[in-house]
């Protein structure tokens, strides 16, 4: 058992060295737990960025980087819904010259508190935000939109929680009624 633990610690440190010095302290602290269970990912998990991988029914993949530091409650909700397959098969029910929007109006989820105040990110092409009722900042639930162009008049009015980092051409090509085949959580490189 002692030899196995030492091997796990060595492997954990090797992974940390390959990934960079910033991982070294985390790997060293967790060597007796994480490294023994999953030595190949002990440090990588600490540095991986989570995102969403959206496959469209008519073809095309869209990769969305998430911003948990800017909108933690929103990202948590979206990730939970993606894990449950909530968005699979849903239509983009709103397609405008400047955005596309999807989600459900009928559900049992409580509204989220708006996280837009103090955000220093802007409504530019590719930004992903939560839709809400115009009269109440705290009414976002499941509907989100993806910006197709810059709209500074929306800055500070809606919670932004991510950005398209791949496949924006598919968003520009969407027609009303276009469907999401699947929306899953993925690692962003």
**Helix %, strand %, coil % for the chain, to 5?**
30, 25, 45
- The one-character DSSP state at 117 is T
Q: Closest Cα to residue 138, out of 103, 110, 160, 105?
A: 110
CB 127 within 8 A of CB 163: yes
What's the confidence (pLDDT) of residue 4? 38
- The one-character DSSP state at 22 is G
Quote the CA–CA distance of 56 and 76 in Å, as a whole number: 23
What's the confidence (pLDDT) of residue 47? 56
Each of the 189 residues of the chain gets a pLDDT tens digit; together they read: 434 333 333 333 333 333 333 333 333 333 333 333 334 444 444 456 899 999 999 999 999 999 999 999 999 999 999 999 999 999 999 999 999 999 998 888 999 999 999 899 999 999 999 999 998 999 999 999 999 999 999 999 999 999 999 999 999 999 999 999 999 999 998
Degrees to nearest 5, angle at CA 24 with 21 and 26: 135
What's the confidence (pLDDT) of residue 189? 80
What's the confidence (pLDDT) of residue 107? 85
Three-class secondary structure of residue 109 per DSSP: coil
Quote the CA–CA distance of 165 and 144 in Å, as a whole number: 16
């Amino acid at each position: 058992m002692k030899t196995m633990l030492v091997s796990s610690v060595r492997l954990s440190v090797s992974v940390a060295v390959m990934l960079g010095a910033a991982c070294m302290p985390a790997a060293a602290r967790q060597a007796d737990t994480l490294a023994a269970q999953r030595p190949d990912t002990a440090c990588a998990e600490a540095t991986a960025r989570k995102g969403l991988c959206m496959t469209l029914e008519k073809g095309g993949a869209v990769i969305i980087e998430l911003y948990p530091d800017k909108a933690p409650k929103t990202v948590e909700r979206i990730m939970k819904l993606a894990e449950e397959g909530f968005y699979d098969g849903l239509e983009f029910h709103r397609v405008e010259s400047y955005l596309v929007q999807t989600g459900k109006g009928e559900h049992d989820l409580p509204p989220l508190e708006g996280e837009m105040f103090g955000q220093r990110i802007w409504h530019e092409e590719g930004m992903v935000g939560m839709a809400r009722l115009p009269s109440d900042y705290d009414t976002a639930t499941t509907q989100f939109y993806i910006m197709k162009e810059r709209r500074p008049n929306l800055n500070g009015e809606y919670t932004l929680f991510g950005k398209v980092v791949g496949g924006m051409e598919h968003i520009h090509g969407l027609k009303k009624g276009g469907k999401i085949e699947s929306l899953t959580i993925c690692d962003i490189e």
